[in-house]
Chain A
Amino acid sequence: MKVDRRSFLGLGLGAVAGVTVSPMMLKLTDDSSILSQTTKLWPWALDHPPLDGESTYESSVCSLCPGACGISVRKIDNRPIKIEGLDDYPVNDGGACLHGIAGLQYLYDPARVKTPLKRNGDGFEEISWDDAIAIVSGKLGDIRKSGAPEKLACIIDKDQGSVSGLFKRLLETFGSPNFYTMPSLESNLELTAEALHGEGMTIGFDLANADLVLSFGAGLIEGWGSPVACFKANASRKERHAKLYQIEPRLSNTAANADKWIPVKPGTEADLALGICAVMLKNNLFKGSATSAFTGGFNKLAAQVQQDYSPVKTAEITGVKAADIEKLATKFAKAKMPLAVFGKGRGDGAQSLKEMAAVQLLNCMVGNLNKKGGTFVMPKAEYLEFPESSLDGIAQKGMLKEKTGKYVNQLFEKVNQTSKPVIEALFVYNANPCYNMHKPKTVKQAFEKIPFIVSFSSFLDETAMEADIILPSHTFLERFEDVATGAGLAKSVVGLTKPMLDPIFDTRHPGDSVISIAKALESGVAQNFEWETYEECLEGVTAGIWDSLSEDGFALLSEEAPSTAAMVNVSYLAAGPATVKAQGDYKLTLIPIDNMRLISAGYSASPFAIKTVADTVLKGKDILVEINPLTANGLKEGGYATLATPIGTARVRIHLNEGIMPGVIGMVEGLGHTFDNIFVSNKGVNVNDLIGPVIESGSGLDAAFGIKAKLS
């Protein structure tokens, strides 16, 4: 058959018409969509339908942050499926933060350490618990035999609670004073209290009752203190007709939520506080009855402050108008229940003692100490009763040695400075210094110089990756623990964390790990650890409050303002400490931003939390830095730029934000992790890689509030 042009076109058109008219195409499309959507092509649904069962609620306490909120865990047949805030718990009463709610994701985190690990070249090999404990106690035994027990050091998140107590006891009976905590709001509160009110004290802020809160950059809704308690106190402002004035260079969530935002040049908060103090002195706006009891040279301080911090001079330093400083001082002094709050951002990390003490001086001057709506100067909550420890000869000698450094940053400095190992073995628990501290590169260098590192981490985070042995701990959902809420709260609460399910991996309670290490050491150490298990120890050392812990889930140690008057000694401030300056000569200043949806201390935010991070903070793998359009200098929204500081450089993208002071670059804290978890890691930059420590003279604290930087 001959196919001419005419019949070819005819056939073609016929075929098109036929296909169009017939339902075949529709049918095929429909079939393919049905086929692609059936559960047959979704094998997961067949294998793992969420099983139904009996629904129950169990209460516990979250220990992800120092806030320590009560939580209620919904379970289906012993399987936890949801975490919510616990109603009527004295800290949070119902609410919960996003990290606590996402707590179950930590349980099944891809970066969890599932079994004890031993370093093998660049990687790790799995070992048994018995072998792991034997290796650790063997190494520790050698150190003791060498007669230098002080060469064992320990870094932990906090100096409170029985787990921390066990680590401390191990160090003490071993013979080492080298017990360190990471800088935290609690440690900063204690240092400030020590500088002004005497040793062994801490400070609580009665935010829920104050009627004028003057916050010097404290991110009251950015995760400062006990986050949910702060959220609640802040939200109740409307009903209580209380005001919040927020002082900081950037329109943070707290500043946006406040009644007034007072932008201040980064790092000049201490100067502003002293400027306000000068106005109060000049205009006689302070409580003479309070200041007359001050010791340490108040008259000298008063004269000096009025000379150095006149409104005009303060305005020059801080960028706040002189008239506004006077108004602010008057408002603050005349409020019924004024309260000044310190601790920039979350109040952890780098802080300046001058700044914290200067702000606390304002509280002292309006006489709000130990009054409702003011600051509570109280002894640190001590509720643990460990049996008296007995130190053998080696331990006694070791404990007489001086601590290698006062703070953890000084420890690393010493380790890096000396060629011989000053520390032979290091324990790290609930801390991630290889990520959290300024310039983590130098921390890692110090880690490389320490011959033997034991991590008790639940996750293979940046610090655990540097360890020689990992003794993985249960997560907070798998264990008992007493958790005290310090964190700047006015009340003092101890909660009991309870296991919500059996441990899902071959992990142990960190308390049990310490006890078994101690038991494997010589009798001089071992005799101080006579408990069979951590649970037995917990019940023993909390005996005084165990009944209420086990029955109510918490013990309320104190709630009201302390009845005693607080002592105030101003000698630290009267000595005129210098204000810390940012390192470098570049024109711009890089400051870290605390974002509630990310975690800056400890491990990392969960996949859910990372999911909530805005695309103006994180886009793909790129971090965005905030600058004022006036600082942009040709840089466009979303465009790439190179951010350089004296410490390092990073490729970033630009987010133009009217709410940040010109000349300031804001970079979020809590991104740029490098461990193995595709949901939270390898996203953006760790801001700590760009900021180096600046040691405040006098206090010895790393007080780097930022660093000079340039964008190109």
Chain B
Amino acid sequence: MKQENTKTHKFGMVIDLDKCTGCGSCMVSCMSENNVPFKDDESDKKKSITWMRVYKLTNGKSFPDTEMVYLPRPCQHCAGKGGHGHSPCVSVCPATATDYGYDTGIVSQIYTRCFGCRYCMGACPYHARYFNWWDPKWPEGMEKYLSPSVSPRMRGVVEKCSFCYHRYQAARDIAYSQGDKNEIPEENYQTACTTACPAGAIVFGDLNNPEHKVHKIVNPDPHPDTFNKHVVGKSRNPNVFRLLERLGTNPKVYYLSEREWVRKAGDNYREGEWDKIKNHYGATSTHG
């Protein structure tokens, strides 16, 4: 199968952590867009379904040198080692309930196929997957606001961020109707978290399309990283990083910060290790 096709999309996002205010709009927009349920107590975060979750990071220094930053975490839509589509969760799913879309780069989740073994949850290094321990229940009348674009999930299945795949489908329908099925204009497909963000911290688009803002910011190096052959798509922007990049999961969610401690917080480093790699970016050459 030829995967590196100029016509294939590779949807991804870059989140500017210096702009993120931790306001929570992305989380609520996601829940409201995707029919995510809620319970009377959502303070046990392991059992609280949040496709988009905003984490709080601190620099660990004491008063008054403390700094803090928020980090929104959707599904990272990993491309797996070498970018071949073997995402950690896809590799372990016995039911093919989650799959890698080679045409979009989106990791899917098909609720009716999932039988709840939760291997994927164990495999996901980002805790981006959630299990429905109960059937969702809405207070009387509230089911009227549910969207027909996304099916509600029943007890016993795993769910996660889909990059608002239904919005991609709608954009693709428009593209088909206009004759060029491969041409998805940037503004036609934006996730609910992106459009909701009042700070404009989230930029979403096609990482394969040099015209798209996300590509311009990330400027991904398509070739394997010289330090780690499993890593592809490393950003050439010195302020851009990915979470746990060395695992070679090759997420399509990138983060941007001018602060070094924030970039360092994207992984766990041994003593002295960070200093060796902190100035290592994607190769600027277009040849591998």
Q: Are A679 and B19 in contact (CB under 8 A)?
A: no
Is A4 on the interface with B (CB-CB < 8 A)? no
A83 to B33, CA, bound (A): 9
- Contact residues of B between 15 and 65, Cβ < 8 Å to A: 18-19, 21-25, 27-29, 31-33, 35, 38-45, 48, 50, 54, 56, 58, 60-64
A51 to B38, CA, bound (A): 20
A629 to B43, CA, bound (A): 23
A660 to B145, CA, bound (A): 40
Q: How far is the CB of B123 from chain A (nearest CB, A)?
A: 20
A612 surroundings in chain B (CB, below 8 A): 24, 27-28, 50, 54
Is A387 on the interface with B (CB-CB < 8 A)? no
Q: Are A45 and B196 in contact (CB under 8 A)?
A: no
Chain A 598-630 per-residue mask, 1 if CB under 8 angstroms from chain B, else 0: 000000000111111111101111000000111
Q: Given the interface contacts A95-B25, A253-B22, does A52 sit within 8 Å of B148 by beta carbon?
A: yes
Q: Write the chain A residue with the least CB distance to B54.
A: A612
Q: Given the interface contacts A36-B156, A108-B142, A234-B21, does A82 sit within 8 Å of B199 by beta carbon?
A: no
Q: Are B33 and A659 in contact (CB under 8 A)?
A: no
Q: Write the chain A residue with the least CB distance to B62.
A: A658
Is A286 on the interface with B (CB-CB < 8 A)? no
Q: Are B38 and A110 in contact (CB under 8 A)?
A: no
Task: Tell me if B's interface is mostly helix, strand, loop or mixed.
Answer: loop
Is B272 on the interface with A (CB-CB < 8 A)? no
Q: Given the interface contacts A85-B196, A95-B196, A251-B66, does A101 sit within 8 Å of B29 by beta carbon?
A: yes
Q: Are A611 and B198 in contact (CB under 8 A)?
A: no
- Contact residues of B between 138 and 153, Cβ < 8 Å to A: 138-148, 151-152
A67 to B34, CA, bound (A): 26
Q: How far is the CB of A665 from chain B (nearest CB, A)?
A: 14
Q: Which of B23, B32, B54 contacts A82 (CB 8 A)?
A: B32
Q: Given the interface contacts A37-B115, A37-B156, A228-B198, does A102 sit within 8 Å of B28 by beta carbon?
A: yes
A629 to B58, CA, bound (A): 15
State how many residues of chain A have any CB contact under 8 Å with chain B: 77
Is B265 on the interface with A (CB-CB < 8 A)? no
Is B229 on the interface with A (CB-CB < 8 A)? no
Is A92 on the interface with B (CB-CB < 8 A)? yes
Q: Are B144 and A108 in contact (CB under 8 A)?
A: yes
Is A545 on the interface with B (CB-CB < 8 A)? no
Chain A 81-113 per-residue mask, 1 if CB under 8 angstroms from chain B, else 0: 111110000001011111001101101111000
Q: How far is the CB of B213 from chain A (nearest CB, A)?
A: 14
A329 surroundings in chain B (CB, below 8 A): none
Is A697 on the interface with B (CB-CB < 8 A)? no
Q: Write the chain A residue with the least CB distance to B20.
A: A257
Q: Which of A92, A105, A107 contacts B198 (CB 8 A)?
A: A92
A107 to B38, CA, bound (A): 16
Is B4 on the interface with A (CB-CB < 8 A)? no
Q: Are B195 and A50 in contact (CB under 8 A)?
A: no
Is A662 on the interface with B (CB-CB < 8 A)? yes
- Contact residues of A between 230 and 278, Cβ < 8 Å to B: 231-232, 234-235, 238, 251, 253, 256-257, 261, 263
A48 to B146, CA, bound (A): 10
Is B7 on the interface with A (CB-CB < 8 A)? no
Q: Given the interface contacts A110-B139, A608-B31, does A95 sit within 8 Å of B63 by beta carbon?
A: no
Q: Which of B64, B116, B148 contacts A50 (CB 8 A)?
A: B148
Q: Given the interface contacts A105-B142, A597-B23, does A608 sit within 8 Å of B198 by beta carbon?
A: no
- Contact residues of B between 89 and 147, Cβ < 8 Å to A: 115-116, 135-147
Q: Which of B33, B44, B135 contacts A44 (CB 8 A)?
A: B135
Q: Write the chain B residue with the least CB distance to A659.
A: B66
Is B247 on the interface with A (CB-CB < 8 A)? no
Q: Given the interface contacts A51-B148, A253-B21, A608-B28, does A661 sit within 8 Å of B43 by beta carbon?
A: no
A487 to B258, CA, bound (A): 32
A659 to B155, CA, bound (A): 40
Q: How far is the CB of A509 from chain B (nearest CB, A)?
A: 20
Q: How far is the CB of A502 from chain B (nearest CB, A)?
A: 12
Q: Write the chain A residue with the least CB distance to B150.
A: A50
A504 surroundings in chain B (CB, below 8 A): 141
Is A590 on the interface with B (CB-CB < 8 A)? no
Q: Given the interface contacts A234-B21, A253-B22, does A661 sit within 8 Å of B141 by beta carbon?
A: no
Q: Given the interface contacts A37-B156, A256-B67, A658-B61, does A96 sit within 8 Å of B38 by beta carbon?
A: no
Q: Are B200 and A50 in contact (CB under 8 A)?
A: no
Is B157 on the interface with A (CB-CB < 8 A)? yes
A612 to B21, CA, bound (A): 14
A84 to B194, CA, bound (A): 11
Q: Given the interface contacts A256-B67, A257-B21, does A50 sit within 8 Å of B28 by beta carbon?
A: no
Q: How far is the CB of A26 from chain B (nearest CB, A)?
A: 13
A389 to B83, CA, bound (A): 74
Is A646 on the interface with B (CB-CB < 8 A)? no
Q: Are B67 and A98 in contact (CB under 8 A)?
A: no
Is B232 on the interface with A (CB-CB < 8 A)? no
- Contact residues of A between 33 and 76, Cβ < 8 Å to B: 33-34, 36-37, 39, 42, 44-45, 48, 50-53, 74, 76
B19 surroundings in chain A (CB, below 8 A): 235, 238
Q: Are B200 and A620 in contact (CB under 8 A)?
A: no
A231 to B56, CA, bound (A): 18
A33 to B197, CA, bound (A): 39
A83 surroundings in chain B (CB, below 8 A): 32
B200 surroundings in chain A (CB, below 8 A): 95, 232, 235
Provide a sorted-by-A list of 19 A–B residue pairs whose CB atoms are within 8 angstroms.
A33-B116, A34-B115, A37-B156, A50-B148, A53-B148, A82-B32, A83-B32, A84-B192, A96-B196, A98-B25, A98-B27, A101-B25, A110-B140, A234-B21, A618-B43, A620-B41, A658-B66, A679-B38, A679-B40
Known contacts A95-B196, A235-B19, A608-B28; can you find 10 more A-B pairs with CB under 8 A? A42-B154, A45-B154, A50-B147, A84-B195, A101-B25, A107-B145, A619-B43, A658-B58, A658-B60, A658-B62
- The 6 nearest A-B residue pairs measured at CB: A95-B198, A231-B198, A50-B146, A235-B199, A98-B28, A108-B142
